[in-house]
């Protein structure tokens, strides 16, 4: 935000700079509020009520954006986290589990972040509806996992999907197929915020609609919006009333993010005064993960540091595997009561991510976003757990899809596990070329999935088709 003011304040005497900038902030905020009111005037009924709540959150975010005066971190103040603030998973898993796990499981809710589309893989509609294994979609596997828990332990662990306006309608249609599964499924929607003209810092939208000229002027503001949207939906209070205490949050495309009974037991067995309100699963960084957010100690608090917050002079240092050895998997365990408290106190503190975009017509816009893990510093007794790499198995590309569809993994009750026939525990590095970027192209080029048990590295750069019964080594 400071750079915007610098362009406007040329010629202003130094003594009047702060005053000038404050006047500009107030004018921008007043103009933004007026434009939002105009947009609300074009809405009616339920749409208007929902939009008012969304805009209240957007106003707070925009206000904070106008206050930012530079990088959100002072690099010399960054320290390695104290040893006891990031526990090795083996230490957590060494504690014996109780004879009955039902009580612990009945306090849990599984939340999947389901706001993304499958466009990056050449698919229309929600990414969660892409088939990934034996005709099962991401959503199918999630339901199977939770149903297996509920049947095995005679429990009632519900599934909650945080949808966006991009995915809500298609997801709700497909949920009917799970009516007879032993899983209660709830949904709520992320907020809908207006994209901002980069020059004027005002909304691009002309009315509240999402069709025609307004088709690409709205956006879901990142998964950090989960706290406000969950609270505003009324579902948070409902689940607390039902006796639920913790949510396990993860990206729906991370096939390694299953309910871990050892972590859950660690959470619920803490004494009341020292209850951990937030656990972030981290794992060891490899050269493929150098851009991933990491945990640091900052102002005596455990904090998530993202690459977007790093001053340019320190980006290489941030990417170092030796200094910053772990990264955030975005598998998070969070206290429902703490979310409610922090929302009601307006005390949820997350850094703003300014995401520049160019619309189809060439207009430059920005969107203000937040990340769910950034709130870690707002919670009491927050903890990192260094988990095995197997808990981070995201499917972001068709190359990832090839791996999870292959005989490297076996599928049981919705969960993928590395085959015991593979001699080394690491996954092969697979890089498919431009002819394989879309799922449909990939399916036509692989008549069957190759044997990959002994594969170390695969790069395909040309126009290649794989026949049946291929073994890659």
The widest CA-to-CA distance across the chain, in whole angstroms, is 75
CA–CA–CA angle 54, 57, 59 (5° rounding) = 110
Tell whether 222 is in a known binding site.
Answer: yes
Instruction: Kindly name the residue from 198, 340, 396, 438 that is annotated as catalytic.
Output: 396
Tell whether 190 is in a known binding site.
Answer: yes
DSSP symbols for 279-310: EEEEEE--GGGTTS-EEEEETTEEEEE-GGGS
Element (H, E) at 405: helix 398-405
Q: Residue written as tokens 């520049």?
A: 356
Q: Which of 285-320 are b and which e, b meaning 16 or more Cβ less than 10 Å from the residue's Cβ?
A: beeebbebbbbbebeeebbbbbebbbeeeeeeebbe
Q: Residue written as tokens 């209660």?
A: 184
Tell whether 127 is in a known binding site.
Answer: yes
Q: In 3-state terms, what secondary structure has residue 95?
A: coil
396 is catalytic: yes
Question: Is the separation of the CB atoms in 404 and 132 below 8 Å?
Answer: yes
| Tokens standing for residue 194 | 């207006």
For the chain, the first-to-last Cα distance in angstroms comes to 52
**Cα four-point dihedral sign 205, 208, 213, 216:** positive
Closest CA to 304 of 315, 292, 314, 316: 292
Binding residues for substrate: 223
- Supply the residues annotated as catalytic: 396
């Amino acid at each position: 935000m400071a750079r915007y003011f610098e362009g406007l304040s040329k010629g202003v005497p130094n003594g009047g700079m702060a005053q000038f900038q404050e006047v500009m902030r107030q004018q921008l905020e007043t103009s933004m509020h007026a434009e939002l009111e105009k947009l609300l005037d074009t809405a009616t009924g339920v749409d208007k009520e929902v939009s008012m709540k969304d805009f209240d959150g957007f106003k707070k975010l925009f206000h904070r954006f106008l206050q930012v005066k530079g990088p959100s971190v002072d690099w010399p103040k960054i320290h390695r986290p104290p040893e006891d603030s990031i526990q090795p998973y083996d230490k957590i898993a060494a504690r014996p589990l109780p004879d009955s796990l039902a009580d612990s499981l009945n306090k849990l809710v599984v939340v999947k972040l389901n706001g993304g589309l499958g466009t990056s893989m050449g698919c229309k509609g929600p990414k969660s509806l892409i088939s990934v294994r034996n005709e099962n979609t991401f959503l199918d596997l999630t339901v199977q996992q939770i149903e297996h828990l509920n049947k095995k332990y005679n429990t009632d662990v519900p599934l909650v999907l945080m949808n966006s306006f991009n995915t809500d309608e298609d997801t709700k249609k497909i949920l009917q197929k799970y009516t007879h599964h032993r899983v209660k499924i709830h949904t709520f929607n992320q907020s809908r915020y207006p994209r901002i003209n980069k020059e004027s810092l005002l909304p691009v939208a002309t009315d509240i609609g999402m069709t025609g000229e307004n088709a690409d002027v709205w956006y879901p503001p990142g998964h950090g919006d989960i706290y406000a949207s969950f609270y505003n939906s009324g579902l948070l209070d409902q689940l607390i009333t039902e006796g639920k205490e913790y949510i396990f949050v993860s990206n729906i495309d991370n096939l390694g993010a299953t309910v871990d009974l050892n972590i859950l037991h660690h959470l619920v067995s803490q004494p009341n005064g020292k209850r951990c309100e937030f656990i972030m699963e981290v794992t060891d960084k490899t050269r493929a993960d150098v851009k991933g957010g990491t945990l640091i100690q900052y102002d005596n608090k455990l904090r998530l540091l993202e690459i977007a917050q790093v001053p340019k002079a320190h980006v290489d240092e941030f990417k170092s595997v030796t200094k910053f050895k772990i990264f955030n998997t975005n598998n998070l365990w969070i206290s429902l009561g703490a979310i409610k408290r922090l929302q009601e106190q307006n005390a949820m503190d997350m850094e703003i991510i300014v995401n520049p975009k160019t619309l189809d017509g060439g207009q430059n816009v920005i969107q203000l976003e937040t990340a769910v893990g950034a709130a870690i510093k707002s919670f009491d007794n927050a903890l990192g757990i260094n988990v095995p790499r197997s808990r981070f198995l995201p499917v972001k590309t068709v190359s990832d899809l090839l791996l999870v569809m292959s005989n490297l993994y076996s599928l049981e009750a919705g969960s993928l596990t590395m085959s015991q026939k593979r001699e080394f525990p690491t996954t092969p590095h697979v890089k498919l070329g431009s002819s394989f970027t879309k799922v449909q192209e990939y399916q036509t080029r692989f008549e069957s999935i190759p044997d990959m048990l002994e594969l170390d590295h695969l790069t395909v750069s040309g126009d290649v088709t794989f026949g049946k019964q291929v073994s890659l080594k």
